[in-house]
Structure 1
């Protein structure tokens, strides 16, 4: 049963999200891309780790007039870790620029720090896309008046809504240059409810996701351990992040303190991090990119997003389910 359906703002495909299975379904519609000016770009991590939050956030932004479309396309960064990754990623980004340039989209609101850096870098290389705004979700939410509720945070962190909670922000690597997510995260946390660790902002210590993706597991665990210890040093009750990948890594690879994502606190919906390890499987690319990926030589599952290859599929999401 499909829980939420929408037309992807970048591909024109009909996408159905199935929460209980952590799956998505694609179906052919008329092939036309919606006429959008500002879109929510969820990124792969949010889609996989917290699928129900994707439509929840989209509806929040839609109701506030911040966006008029949604896309679950991958930003392409993860292609760098595939064999011949630089060529694959360059090809994907070229197609992404072409697609975006052909639309009326002028703004992306992104949930993921990796997506923001990837899109800014990619779009800056083309005169057609260089002026498209790439905004960050936490700052956008703060600007329209959202703030974490202290009682909700206390209940989710300590089981007592009257308890006091102190967060230790973790700043992700791709945000070091701009600090946009770091500022947005802190803008959402009430005054007096956060304390920076020894290494923060531009000096933040990687959560360990990058070395883990490169196969350097000892280094990855060491990074996570440092973050956990520094969070304890400032007397915090939990690390809080603006990146789902950081959140996963800091929960799985260090034993010192719990880690939460600000969206868990904002939407009062906890992620069971011990059960999401095998859920990172939905990554949507253009079909031209899939044409040059050797599916036998990759550890990731990529799916095509273009109605042009779904000519024999009925207009029914259940007909083309990703298993």
Structure 2
């Protein structure tokens, strides 16, 4: 991944047209007087490096398909290597540390998946992702049960894919996390992994792409039966940043909703043009005002769509939107498709209390 970032940064330095197309869709770039190409040639400071959501909406807008996010990702790696940022200050965010926030939450709430852990010979496994298995254990277990019944899933992988570490600039720790996961999957003899989180899905493709392991989404595998359409609320879908270019989840989710009798009205910005929910790149911990602005704008757009329910297929997106008062109900897509109505509005409040007690 480091080589990919360096290559994208070099391309940005040499080919950026300074046309401003990226700044039209990104509040951060709009704040700056220099283009991404100029910034790449001149360099940026640490504060700016951790102000980018790494969502690649800028890349989607670029006529040359350049990636300005590479500038910020590369600077984060440099900041870690030069000791300009102390990772120990952010251990509560990092999944390779024992007492990170999600582990604390699971311990506090008594959430455990020891009975579902994949064992040797489990060729088909479910990979829920850290956020889903932490903050929605009911949904996680229901999805596993459906996978067990419908496709012979025999275990769950509760590891982190390593993406949060990479986004922080901790490439060595991310690489170690990825190696451990690859070794585990090979040792268990896993042939197929079914994924619920779009971030995990695309990251797993990067680290397992050479291992001949099939990676599928839950929307490709599960058979969502039809419901009574007359009682189905009008929905709108917030698409996830990692799905921006390939659209595997956005297509699968909309197909599943249609099959189940739900109608979807699109917001003005959808699929590849969708803005970040505010959780990308850990920016909410460095520039919370930028994250808050994105959240408020998106909620207002959902209200204007006329939908009664705002859906997302990434639980991080759901948690960001659910904690703010709005005129739409916020739910995970799987909540609707599986008939499990969960209220996520107080999750982040509970997280803060747990961190306060732990600190």
TM-score range, shorter chain: 0.5 to 0.7
Q: Which residue of 2 aligns with 1:103?
A: 188
Q: Which residue of 1 aligns with 2:246?
A: 178
Query: Alpha carbons of 1:185 and 1:251: their partners in 2 closer, same or farther (altered >3 Å)?
Result: same
Q: Which residue of 1 aligns with 2:60?
A: none
CA distance in 2, matches of 1:32, 1:201: 33
Q: Which is richer in strand?
A: 1
Q: Deviations over 1:74-108 (max 9, x none)?
A: 112222355x6211101111222222223321111
SS of structure 1 residue aligned to 2:188 = coil
How far apart are 1:254 and its partner, in Å?
A: 6.0
Q: Deviations over 1:103-155 (max 9, x none)?
A: 3211110111111121111123xx3x1x21111112322xx3x146356xxxx
How far apart are 1:243 and its partner, in Å?
A: 1.0
Q: Which residue of 1 aligns with 2:11?
A: none
Q: Which residue of 1 aligns with 2:150?
A: 64
Q: Which residue of 2 aligns with 1:313?
A: none
CA distance in 2, matches of 1:166, 1:184: 18
Query: Alpha carbons of 1:280 and 1:42: their partners in 2 closer, same or farther (altered >3 Å)?
Result: farther
Query: 2:301 matched to 1:230?
Result: yes
Query: 2:233 matched to 1:165?
Result: yes
| Length, aligned pairs only | 245
SS of structure 1 residue aligned to 2:176 = helix
CA distance in 1, matches of 2:175, 2:131: 21
CA distance in 2, matches of 1:175, 1:188: 16
TM-score between the two structures when normalised by the length of structure 1: 0.67
CA distance in 1, matches of 2:290, 2:250: 24
CA distance in 2, matches of 1:150, 1:104: 41
How far apart are 1:272 and its partner, in Å?
A: 2.7
* RCO comparison, higher one (Cα < 8 Å, 6+): 1
Q: Which residue of 2 aligns with 1:134?
A: 215
SS of structure 2 residue aligned to 1:195 = coil
SS of structure 1 residue aligned to 2:221 = helix
TM-score between the two structures when normalised by the length of structure 2: 0.61
CA distance in 1, matches of 2:315, 2:114: 28
Q: Which residue of 2 aligns with 1:22?
A: 109
**Unaligned 5+ runs, structure 1:** 1-17, 152-161, 282-298, 300-323
Q: Is the 8 A contact 1:116 1:134 kept in 2?
A: yes
CA distance in 2, matches of 1:73, 1:262: 23
Q: Deviations over 1:1-51 (max 9, x none)?
A: xxxxxxxxxxxxxxxxx99953345879xx993201111111111111111
Q: Which residue of 2 aligns with 1:258?
A: 329
Q: Which is richer in helix?
A: 2
Q: Is the 8 A contact 1:77 1:118 kept in 2?
A: yes
**Unaligned 5+ runs, structure 2:** 1-104
CA distance in 2, matches of 1:20, 1:165: 35
Q: Could you list the structure 1 runs, at least 4 aligned residues long, displaced by more than 6 angstroms after superposition.
A: none
Q: Which residue of 2 aligns with 1:249?
A: 320
Q: Which residue of 1 aligns with 2:197?
A: 112
SS of structure 1 residue aligned to 2:253 = helix
Q: Which residue of 2 aligns with 1:187?
A: 255
List aligned pairs for 1:251-290, cutoff 5 A: 251-253=322-324, 255-277=326-348
CA distance in 1, matches of 2:158, 2:351: 14
